[in-house]
Chains A and B, each alone.
Chain A
Amino acid sequence: MVSKKRLGLVIDLERCAGCWTCAVACKAENNVAMGNWWNRVLSPPGKEQSQYGIPSLTQDGSVDMIFRPYACMHCQNAACVKVCPTGATYKRPDGITAQDYSKCIGCRSCIAACPYNVRVFNWEKPVQIPAYDSDHVGNIDVPERPKGVVEKCTFCMERTDKGELPACVAGCPSHARYFGDLNDPNSEVSKLISNRTGEKYKEEFGTDPSVYYLPTRQRQTLRIGVATKGAGLAALAEPQTSSAPFYTGQCCATVERSESK
């Protein structure tokens, strides 16, 4: 059975250097106004327990902190889509949560509904960085937004519809981002998720996000440890995962590992 297409993003936390290139590429590509960001890089403490990004200390005393690039999760069961009274926010058949700026009345229910706080509102007429005024730097196909509408990451649908990669993926200098069809088991993203135990963020809200994060080596070790204590077998079948040297090179490391399995 051919399943429906579901576009998704995989972000490798082990490779992310926290340089913000994805955020800036997104902002430039989509002409996001000053004050608003569709994409940003959070700096949570590794255990994500202490608030406000203060690094937490691990048991051996080293500082534990990760970078978590963060934008719309394009949830399959999107809370924002459900509450939108006009249908301005909608799911496309390919899984993208899109926004129709001409329908949006600006009631901001979707901002309140989004468990991930990724939606932004144009409180005033969008002002671009002054240099942008005379020269449309970003993608000319991206529609302009009036004041008073909500906007957010669109997986750069103007690019991806043509088969190109989203700006954040194309621009990532450390190859930490992958884009593809999550429903295709042979796609790069699906393989990465299954080989490296990709996880959805804040899954407890039940919105079924389409963005997966590949855990850092340290966290993966921890996860395998936990798994061994519990069900065990799946983890034991892959004993090298925790000790193997990880990702010193490019993404081909993934291929090597999946072949060696």
Chain B
Amino acid sequence: MTPIKTKTGTVWIWVLGLIALVGFGMWIRQLILGLAVTGMNNYVSWGLYIITFAFMVGLSAGGLIVSSLAYILKLEHLKQMAPVGIVAAVACVVGAGAMILVDVGHPERVLNILLGGRLTSPIKWDFFILAVYLVVGLFELYVMLSKKWLNRTLAAREHALNILAWIGFPVAILVHSITAWIFGLQIGRPFWNTALMAPIFLSSAVVSGVGLLLLVAFIGDKYKLPIPGLDEQNRTFLTKLLSSFILLDAFFLFCDLFTSVYAGGTAEASTAAKLLTGNMAPLFWLEIILGVVAPFLILVMTKTKRSMGWQAVAGVLVMVGVFLKRINIILPNLLQLNVPYAPGVSTGRFSTSSPFHIADQSSFAVVGNYFPTLSEVCITLGVLAFVALLITVGIRLTMAVEKEESVAEAGFHEINVV
């Protein structure tokens, strides 16, 4: 089980490792100086970290949902793709956990959530379900890749993976719903407080997750890596899945915004107006163009839909679109207070400057502002690089196993089903 080594791959790993290391260093600095190094304040109390957390949770979905579906719906050919999907899912969930760790003020105390936390808290549910998700994913990988399981019969492995898929699928659905409920159950945030939050998170999770798989397929093809399962047939399935979920996602978004703005005069309406025509409009319409219109056109036009390159472009676009969507869900309502009267909230920022605040000036803000600082961006990029590193290493493992498998199975004239 030796990983396949290429020169480009080694450089890639070193670059990712370096970025991750810089991010880690910046995190240590943040631990010493406090979250004052971020652009967040009491007004906009969640920022890039939580946005990326929600994005990473979504990104992991595609993998686990698609892989589990292959087993649940008995799509034999799609099963070949399962290891790659689960590698992506596990890596992204680790990344999501890392984003929470860098966001909280006291990461050393996170076990307080387990030890005597409060059962009504969506964060507590999320903590549990992410742990279960990680364990299920890791165990699936263990069944697929470990020597111990590879030495057993194919039927035994299939049986175990089947059971795991039936556990993994509802867990994956729950992970996204609960992450959505962190926002959707907040009565104090009218724009978030919609029953559509969980469906929206689920649909965009599938969109971004499949986008990631398409990108992986393209990179694998470009560098002639024998990544298991990402062949023409499965890619066609993925693009069909992607284009339908882009439509579903857009429909949910439309329903949500339409319901918000129709009555007018409500808090939801003014937040939605901020998004549609206000100061967040550029980000919102960019999301619609990059995340909905462009990838959908690429995936339905006969000229582009079969090209691996274009599929990868669509994959990257939907990931960017879903990231923008996370911003556009989370930030507008943080920027909109229920009680916005002068002198506003005390921002908590006084002795340190932020992009929108000069030290030793007033600590009150009537209008909310947020822009991530360099430190925040570095830490986030570090986590993203770490996730990419995990995916690279994981895929190398699946390729190594695949290679041994095909060598072994060639002798028995068996169909390669992993």
Contacts and interface: CB of A to CB of B under 8 A. Distances in A.
Interface stretch (A77-85, A214-222, A234-242): A77-85
Given A36-B348, A107-B103, A121-B45, A112 B341 contact: no
Nearest to B110: A105
B113 A117 contact: no
Contacts of B34: 122-125, 147-148
Q: Give the secondary structure class of B's interface.
A: loop
Contact of A109 (B116, B123, B343): B123
A-side interface size class: 35 or more
A105 B106 contact: yes
Contact of B121 (A82, A125, A147): A82
Given A34-B363, A83-B120, A120-B348, A148 B35 contact: yes
B363 A36 contact: yes
Interface in B87-136: 100, 103-107, 109-110, 112-113, 116-118, 120-124, 127
A7 B207 CA distance: 50
A122 to B, nearest CB: 7
A113 B127 contact: no
B348 A121 contact: yes
Contacts of A106: 35, 104-106
B67 interface: no
Contact of A86 (B112, B341, B363): B112
A124 B186 contact: no
Contacts of B127: 85
Nearest to A108: B45
A37 B363 contact: yes
A40 interface: yes
Contact of A35 (B40, B45, B339, B346): B346
A120 B341 contact: no
Contact of A83 (B105, B113, B121, B348): B121
Contact of B363 (A35, A51, A52): A35
A43 B188 contact: no
B188 A86 contact: no
Contact of A105 (B46, B105, B120, B349): B105
Contacts, number: 185
A121 B334 CA distance: 15
A112 B183 CA distance: 9
A83 B123 contact: yes
A84 B118 contact: yes
B189 A112 contact: yes
A153 interface: no
B192 to A, nearest CB: 8
A125 B182 CA distance: 27
A120 B183 CA distance: 19
Contacts of B120: 82-83
Contact of B340 (A51, A120, A124): A51
A127 interface: yes
A111 B366 CA distance: 16
A124 B351 contact: yes
Given A51-B340, A85-B124, A105 B113 contact: yes
Interface in A90-121: 103-109, 111-117, 119-121
Nearest to B350: A35
A174 interface: no
Contacts of B40: 123
Contacts of A103: 109, 112
A151 B183 CA distance: 21
B106 A127 contact: no
Nearest to B182: A109
Interface string B33-54: 1111010111101100000000
Interface stretch (A133-141, A176-184, A187-195, A200-208): A200-208
Interface in A24-49: 33-37, 40, 42-45, 48
B225 interface: no
Contacts of A125: 34
Contacts of B364: 37, 40
Contacts of A86: 109, 112-113, 116-118
Contacts of B277: none
Question: Which one of A33, A34, A123, A124 has the greatest number of beta carbons of chain B within 10 Å?
Answer: A123
B121 A84 contact: yes
Contacts of A53: 341-343, 366
Nearest to A115: B188
B188 to A, nearest CB: 3
A34 B347 CA distance: 10
Given A85-B121, A112-B186, A115-B187, A36 B113 contact: no
25 contacts: A33-B350, A37-B363, A42-B342, A44-B341, A48-B341, A51-B341, A70-B339, A82-B121, A85-B121, A87-B112, A87-B118, A88-B112, A105-B109, A105-B112, A107-B100, A108-B46, A112-B183, A112-B334, A116-B339, A119-B42, A121-B348, A147-B35, A202-B339, A205-B188, A205-B338
User: Which 5 pairs between the two chains have the least Cβ-Cβ distance?
Assistant: A106-B105, A148-B105, A53-B342, A35-B350, A115-B188
Given A42-B339, A82-B121, A86-B113, 6 more contacts: A42-B342, A51-B340, A112-B189, A115-B338, A116-B188, A120-B348
